[in-house]
Amino acid sequence: MRSDYWDQPAFETIRPRRLVAPLVFNSPHSGRVYPDRFLAMTRLDHLSIRQSEDAWVDELFARAPHLGAPMLRAHFPRAYLDVNREPWELDPAMFVEPLSDRFNTTSPRVAAGLGTLARVVAENKPIYKERLTLEDARMRIEGIYHPYHAALQALLGEAVTAFGVALLIDCHSMPRIARANDKVPPDIVLGDRYGTTCAPALIDLVETVFTSAGLRVARNRPYAGGFTTRAYGRPQHGVHALQIEISRHLYMNEVTLAKNDNFDAVRGLVDRLIFALINLDPATVAGTPLPSADRLAAE
């Protein structure tokens, strides 16, 4: 099967003129290039299909390459392929053929309709008119998912080679979180898998930048970090990973996806964050011990 992105790149790596820090920025869910073939397969209108996007996150972090750190960003949308999942987390109900045991068909993400190929977008709206073929899944996973992660691994390898350590910043947005008992929801959620995927100095610095701007920051609840954070965050091997979720209401209209009047201010704050991360001494994160097994068991 010919790739749906045969005539355009499915993703791109934006490199700095000179690598000045061990940072790698990843924006896997901000893609907004919808192939005609995919649109013909969906029952949703063009705005509804976009509700799963981390809209404009790539633009919020766009200064990273100008400041000396590479960025990997998807052009394919999350509704088409989610690279923040295991490669073969698939829902059997979505496919014409039966799925063998080699596929992960029982994960909580699959049950929620949000596997590697999602069944639904926000508010549980079904995406497809008809069931897919496994050939379609292979085209997306073997043709785009695996090359995407190979590109991410290459960037992290370059950082480790140059600096002895790599810091992966996984960039996301989230819908405004509803809280019971009149509790004020967070504006930012930082995920490090409960202290296991990055050094405390890294998450502390990021939290400080956001709280200094008057934003409310939570850690690991309700988002502790997805597949990418878990798979790449190996502090004992010099690779640290942190997921950042920015509440969409801060910079956009969550219904129309249009940027709001605060967009430039949020982008300026992210610029300050990037600058602070670039100036973080790699020695403060290198060699950081992992939490004890007792502490992890208590989480």
Residue-wise pLDDT for 85-111, tens only, equals: 999 999 999 999 999 999 999 999 999
- pLDDT value, residue 297: 34
Cα–Cα distances in Å, from 191 out to 129, 213, 244, 252, 259? 35, 19, 7, 22, 25
Please check the confidence at residue 220 and state whether its pLDDT lies above 60: yes
Give the whole-angstrom CA distance, residue 299 versus residue 288: 20
Least confident of 27-41, 169-183, 206-220, 223-237: 169-183
Give the whole-angstrom CA distance, residue 209 versus residue 211: 6
- pLDDT value, residue 296: 34
Give the whole-angstrom CA distance, residue 194 versus residue 196: 6
pLDDT more than 70, % of the chain:
94
Please check the confidence at residue 186 and state whether its pLDDT lies above 80: yes
Q: What is the DSSP letter of 202?
A: H
Where do the domains of the chain lie? 11-298
Q: How many CB atoms lie within 10 A of CB 153?
A: 14
Please check the confidence at residue 189 and state whether its pLDDT lies above 50: yes
The model's confidence at residue 34, banded by pLDDT at 50, 70 and 90, is very high
One-letter amino acid at 251 equals Y
139 with 3: CB under 8 angstroms? yes
Nearest to 227 by CA among 111, 113, 82, 100: 82
Give the whole-angstrom CA distance, residue 171 versus residue 278: 16
- φ, ψ dihedrals at 262, nearest 5°: -95, 0
Superfamily holding 11-298: Zn-dependent exopeptidases (3.40.630.40)
- pLDDT value, residue 158: 98
- pLDDT value, residue 284: 86
**For residue 76, what are the contacts with CB-CB under 8 A and spacing of at least 6?**
5, 10, 11, 31, 33, 144
Please check the confidence at residue 134 and state whether its pLDDT lies above 50: yes
Question: Which element (helix H / strand E) includes 264?
Answer: helix 263-278
Give the whole-angstrom CA distance, residue 176 versus residue 247: 6
Whole-structure pTM over 0.85, yes or no?
A: yes
Give the distance, in angstroms, between the CA of residue 189 and the centroid of all CA atoms in the same chain: 13
Give the whole-angstrom CA distance, residue 76 versus residue 57: 14
